[in-house]
Structure 1
Amino acid sequence: MSPTASPGRGPKVRTAVLAATIDELSERGYAAFTIDNAAQRAGVHKTTVYRRWPDRETLIAEALTDSLTTEIPIPDTGSVDEDLRALARSLVAWANSASGRAVLAVMVSTAAGLPAPPLSARHVFRDRIRKTLPVVTRAITRGEIPEGTDPAEMVKALVAPIYFRVLITGEPVGDSTADAAAAVALTAARARLFTTS
């Protein structure tokens, strides 16, 4: 390590740049987002950003992933009912936060006639669904929902009502929205609506 290098500098710079990216998306939107503005907001030179993220799409995708991972943890309470409710409540809290609104604005930019978000942004959401699947597979193992339940379909059923209200109808969402979404997904799973056999 060079005498001028700081052991904590790398992680601190990453955190600052990703936070600045979310703030820029929140304030300016996807179409107006630039690496220069994100770098300035983070207090670093743009070449520092380009060394780690070669283009804005890569930077945005990592910022989205970081936001989702940090603010929507994967619960493991030992009860599918509790897990689904906790997951839905985290999603609602995130959707109501500045970072959540920024991320969701990126995803609907095409609908507003703005440039389409990169495919990597959509992969972030697919990856998040994939990481949530153990909530369902653990519930199957515990016998709380039927064997053969498709975990991805159940998770999509959980999050769909929340995204519908946030993105389509513009209705406010809160804990009651989350609890209802969790109850509907669990009821549907127990009715074998997501079974593959």
Structure 2
Amino acid sequence: MTEKPVQRRPGGRTARNRENVLRAAADLLLNEGYEQLTIARVAAAAQVAETTVYRRWRNKAHLAADALSELARVENPIPDTGTLEGDLRALLVQIVAILERPEVRRVLLAVVALPAGDPEAVRAKDAFWAERFAGAAALVRRAVERGELPVDADPYELIEDLAAPVYFRLLVTGRPLDGRFVDRSVALVLSRRGLRPAPPPGHGGPPPADG
């Protein structure tokens, strides 16, 4: 009987290598910080050759940005609650939760501080933020389809309005990222677009009937 050829999934090994490299890079970043990240250490932890890493990532800045993007994709997925307000609130709560982790905050501060004069570092940072905005843009498209936002709504502006106060507190003031902050941030984003947050349960409805 003639043996059937083994069917290999296209890109299977490449995809596994990429996953292993990004996981190894994220572990090093979170546990030891950006300064301790090297291509050699990542390759050893991922059990691949250094050339395998360099074929996809030009340097450690580019690798760090990609690893953070993957971490954000997994731990900060774009919500779909059925309303713009619900999506904004869920997204901001997720952003706050991930930034409350000291190891994530430390790495983010290191990436933000990458030298502006290094073209590779600039491209890495741009790639990280572009991916985050691209994912969040789906949230805005759904709101447009539901009629909550006009068709010319700018996803970048909306997400900037939502996320900017988080990073301002993180990088500048150090003030708490608590529930009151989340409520205020969502309300401001909605008000700038002529919308109002829904009243909390038990408030704002018609008065109860007598008797």
Q: Residue 131 of structure 1 is aligned with which of 130, 135, 156? A: 135
What TM-score do the two structures reach when normalised by structure 1? 0.75
8 A contact 1:145–1:190 mirrored in 2: no
**What percentage of residue pairs aligned between the two structures are identical?**
37
Which residues in structure 2 correspond to 1:18-29 (within 5 Å)?
18-29=22-33
Q: Please say if 1:80 is aligned against 2:63.
A: no
**Structural RMSD (CA):** 3.2
Aligned counterpart, 1:141:
145
Contact 2:33 2:107 in 1 (8 A): no
**Alpha-carbon contact 2:137-2:156 (below 8 Å) kept:** yes
Aligned residue pair count = 186
What is the aligned partner in structure 1 of residue 38 from structure 2? 34
Aligned match of 1:195: none
Q: Distance in 1 between matches of 2:164 and 2:61?
A: 25
Query: For residue 89 of structure 1, what is the aligned residue in structure 2?
Result: 93
Q: What is the 5 A alignment of 1:117-128?
A: 117-128=121-132
1:159 corresponds in structure 2 to: 163
Whole-angstrom distance in 1 between the partners of 2:39 and 2:46 = 10
**Any gaps of 5 or more consecutive residues in structure 2?**
196-211
Q: C-alpha displacement at 1:8, in angstroms?
A: 6.4
CA distance 1:92–1:170, change in 2 (3 Å): same
- Per-residue deviation, 1:16: 3.0
Relative to structure 1, the CA distance from residue 45 to residue 127 in structure 2 (aligned partners, 3 Å threshold; closer, same or farther) is: closer
CA pair 142-51 structure 1, distance change in 2 beyond 3 A: closer
Cα distance, 1:67 vs. partner? 1.5
- Per the TM alignment, residue 18 of structure 1 is displaced from its structure 2 partner at its CA by 1.2
User: Which 5+ residue runs of structure 1 have no aligned equivalent?
Assistant: 192-197
Please say if 1:53 is aligned against 2:38: no
CA distance in structure 2 between the partners assigned to 1:89 and 1:178 by the alignment = 7
In structure 2, do the counterparts of structure 1 residues 35 and 118 end up closer, same or farther at CA, with 3 Å as the change threshold? farther
How far residue 80 of structure 1 moved from its aligned partner, in angstroms, is: 0.5
Specify which of 47, 65, 70 is matched with residue 69 of structure 2: 65
Please say which of residues 40-49 and 78-87 is displaced more in the overlay.
Answer: 40-49
Per-residue deviation, residues 88-121 of structure 1 (Å, max 9, x unmatched): 111111212356325412333248x9x7944222
* Deviation string, structure 1 residues 133-185 (Cα, Å, up to 9, x no partner): 22123223322234543222111000011111112122332444333322221
Structure 2 Cα separation of the partners of residues 87 and 59 of structure 1: 25
